[in-house]
Amino acid sequence: MQAQALFLGRHYRRAFHLLNASQIVLRDLRFRYLAAKCLEELKEWDQCLLMLGDAKVDEHGNVNITKDGNVMYLDKDGEDQEINRLEEKVSPLAEICCWKLVSELKTPYKIISATCFLRGKAYEALENRAQARQWYKAAIKVYPLCYEALERLIENHMLTCEEETSLLSSLQFAPEDGWISSFYSCLIKKYDKDNVVEAKFRELEQEGCNVKPSEKSLMCTLKNNTDLLACKAEYYHQCGEYQKCFELTYILLEKDPLHLKCTLVHLAAAMELGHSNELYLMACKLVKDYPQKALSWFAVGCYNYCIKKYDQSHRYFSKAMNLDGTFLPAWIGYGNAYAAQEEGDQAMSAYHTAARLFPGCHLPTLDIGMEYMRMHSFKLAEQFFMQAKTICPSDPLVYNELGVVAYHMKE
């Protein structure tokens, strides 16, 4: 409790020293996790992984969990060691979405999931995205309510459309958490047939009709839930319904100003519709309230791109990338700003880097194909369009571009 108090007071080095010096971290995964959290805050990622000890995860995100609920780890001396399943009366020190006090948690799998998620963060910070992906998958498989792990996988485009669907189908939810499974299915890439995606939204919005009257008031709010509406706006954007998307995000942002996911979709829709005034106002608000967020400077870049000040736009997209190297829209915007000036080499460099960093997203590969097509290298363009089709076989834009390149090749 003293170490936790020091952690909450942001005395991370003192908390770590207290835990490590007492050797208590060798006795229980909870204390090892708290020590690793201290090292996370200090950005000492290699030491963070060392503190958690070695553990194995396969390519499907399955960790070594024995039948009695124990987890197999490798201790610092290289000997196999079992971390015993925590008893119900002992509460873990970590909650997934935010740090809680010791007395608030009772489920042992939460602490196991938390350690998997922390490993993923450490590997991602060390730019080992392959390992990060496996540990994020492990975190949500061990404990399906570990939303942060799913969010990392989706927003950092670590999985293809097929892999996202496969992961969700493998999760085992409690009967009362069925609506969360439906919500997760609305978060992933939405390139299925219109009736399939819209049915998912209807199912979730009507979820409140099947619950007890005492719970109905809570569940019925899902219909107007800002996170669900942001997902719907994202769907409209992916369908090319930019006006519909803009109208929905505009209403949503009046209810919940600076809802960051919705703000990103709102900026994208405003870009497509050429609403430069809206982009300017949003950029000013974001830079004032969130000067250290990549999204804020991305908004400034969008405004400059919209008014065709391309030199300024790629400068601000670059600033967004420097603040957060995992922010895909900045990479795409950076490449597009150079492409608009017909500076193909710089555009290609940005797209290729984005394709490497975000293997689950087909857009950088699609942009490479478009750039080759602009240079009349139709065979190369076709190759990259086919790669994009492999990553995301259900996006109509891929087939449109394949049709265009076939037309140019007189096929």
pLDDT at 32 over 60: yes
Asked if 35 and 92 sit in the same domain, the reply is: yes
Tell me whether residue 256 is in a domain.
no
- Please give the full DSSP string across 190-222, using - where no structure is assigned: --S-HHHHHHHHHHHHTGGGGS-HHHHHHHGGG
- How high is the pLDDT of residue 160? 84
Q: Which residues, including other chains, have CB under 8 Å from residue 52's CB and lie 6 or more apart?
A: 32, 33, 36, 73, 115, 118, 119, 122
How far apart are the C-alpha atoms of 192 and 177, rounded to whole Å? 24
| % residues pLDDT > 90 (the chain) | 52
Give the chain's domain count.
2
The residue to which tokens 């201790």 are assigned: 75
Closest to 106 measured CA to CA, from 129, 86, 79, 127: 86
pLDDT of residue 194: 64
Specify the pLDDT at position 210: 54
At 49-65, the pLDDT tens digits run 999 887 888 777 777 65
Closest residue by Cα to residue 137 from 124, 146, 125? 146
What integer pLDDT is reported at residue 177 of this predicted model?
Answer: 81
Choose the final residue of a domain: 114, 129, 155: 155
Sign of the torsion formed by the C-alpha atoms of 100, 62, 161 and 297: positive
Give the C-alpha separation, 72 to 62, whole Å.
12
Residue 126 lies in a domain: yes
Identify whether residues 143 and 178 lie together within a single domain.
no
Rounded Cα distance between 390 and 303, Å, is 33
| Domain co-membership, 57 together with 129 | yes
Question: What's residue 27's pLDDT?
Answer: 75
Most confident segment among 205-209, 343-347, 359-363, 400-404: 400-404
Quote the pLDDT of residue 201. Answer: 79
CA dihedral (155, 159, 162, 163) in degrees, to 10, reads -120
Q: Which of 104-118, 157-171, 326-340 has the lowest mean pLDDT?
A: 104-118
Does residue 239 lie within any of the structural domains? no
| Boundary of a domain, candidates 155, 181, 213 | 155
One domain, residues 26 and 106: yes
- pTM across the whole model: 0.79
Write down which residue in 155, 190, 213 finishes a domain: 155
What six digits make up the tokens of 227? 């996170």
Q: Does pLDDT of 165 surpass 60?
A: yes
180 domain residue, yes or no: yes
> CB-based contacts of 229: which residues, under 8 Å, 6+ apart?
248, 252, 262
> The domain spanning residue 18 has which CATH number?
1.25.40.10
Asked if residue 74 and residue 185 are part of one domain, the reply reads no
Q: Which of the residue ranges 4-18, 135-149, 193-207, 290-304 would you say has the lowest mean pLDDT?
A: 193-207
Judgement on whether residues 189 and 89 belong to the same structural domain of the protein: no
Q: Region of 44 please: left (phi>0), alpha (psi -120 to 50) or beta.
A: beta
**Pair (3, 49) in one structural domain:** yes
Residue 145 amino acid letter: L
Same domain, 117 and 219: no
More confident residue, 231 or 192: 231
Q: Decide if 161 is inside a domain.
A: no
Q: What is the domain range of residue 134? A: 1-155
74: CB partners within 8 A, 6+ apart: 53, 54, 55, 80, 81
Q: Can you tell me the distance from the alpha carbon of 177 to that of 179, in angstroms, rounded to the nearest whole number?
A: 5
Q: Are residues 88 and 16 in the same domain?
A: yes
30 & 78 share domain = yes
Categorize the per-residue pLDDT at 97 as very low, low, confident or very high, splitting at 50, 70 and 90.
very low
In this prediction, residue 288 carries a pLDDT of 94
pLDDT at 62 (0 to 100): 76
Q: Which of the 8 DSSP states describes residue 71?
A: E
pLDDT band for position 209 (cuts 50, 70, 90): low
Q: What is the 8-class DSSP label of residue 82?
A: E
> Does residue 50 belong to any structural domain of this protein?
yes
H or E stretch at 113: helix 108-125
More reliable by pLDDT, 91 or 174:
174
Is 81 in the same domain as 182?
no
Q: Is there a single domain that holds both residue 151 and residue 171?
A: no
For residue 54, the cross-strand partners are 74
The answer to whether residue 251 is domain-embedded is: no
In this prediction, residues 176-203 reach a mean pLDDT of: 78
Q: Is residue 142 part of a domain?
A: yes
- Confidence grade of residue 90 (pLDDT, cut at 50, 70, 90): very low
Mean residue pLDDT of the chain comes to: 83
